[in-house]
Structure 1
Amino acid sequence: MNNSETEEITDEIIGEAVLALLKTNRPITTPTLLVRLRLMQATEPDRQRRKIIAAVIEEICAKLIRQRKYAPLQVKKINGRWETRGSLAPDSMPSEAKRSTDYPNHGELNRVRM
């Protein structure tokens, strides 16, 4: 698969995730987009698309880490719905909780690393 095909599929995947959020009346935010992408990754039968979804998730997380705008956010499925717990504001968390290295299981489906 060449670079332009990968970029096209990447755009398609992000579009699908945003449309799914709109259809369910969810806010279009980085955390909700990441949750949706992780759900798509977990349910995608095609290995190549799963790989691209993982790359999209990693790219978004890497940009957030570089920007240092967000702290880790806990995401859990409660009563059949994805719910967020925690704060997005880095100032509201202890300084030791701001480091992404404090969350070694960042790839788990129930946790969004930012």
Structure 2
Amino acid sequence: MAKNYRLTGIPAWALSLIALFVLFIPLFLLDNSKNEAFQIGGYILCIFISSLASFVICRAHPKSVLYTPIIINALGVIAIIVYFFTDLSEISEVLFWGISMTLSFTGAVMGARIGRKRIN
């Protein structure tokens, strides 16, 4: 018997946008920080939040596995595109967004698999 989640009533794209806006908060705080340890911890927190959000959303909506990580990491997609066409000196930003997108897609696939098992 499939368990109903509260999240199943909200569309996956809306949940992904909510997760994107939640990620704005630590990223905005990191932009103004001078402490490198705080920045590294904040980036790790952002990666964790994005991958966890992808997992939870795709567990509730298994068919959204392709677009949920892209919406959640929309800032990263834009940053990587801008990076390749402008400044090639800041590789750490691309590395951060690349890891974030990779782990988000991994979390989305795992969540979709678990979600499909619960539905069937």
Q: What TM-score, normalized by structure 2, do the two folds share?
A: 0.36
- Of structures 1 and 2, the one with the larger relative CO (CA 8 A, separation 6+) is 2
Largest Rg, 1 or 2: 2
Structure with higher helix content:
2
Q: What TM-score, normalized by structure 1, do the two folds share?
A: 0.38
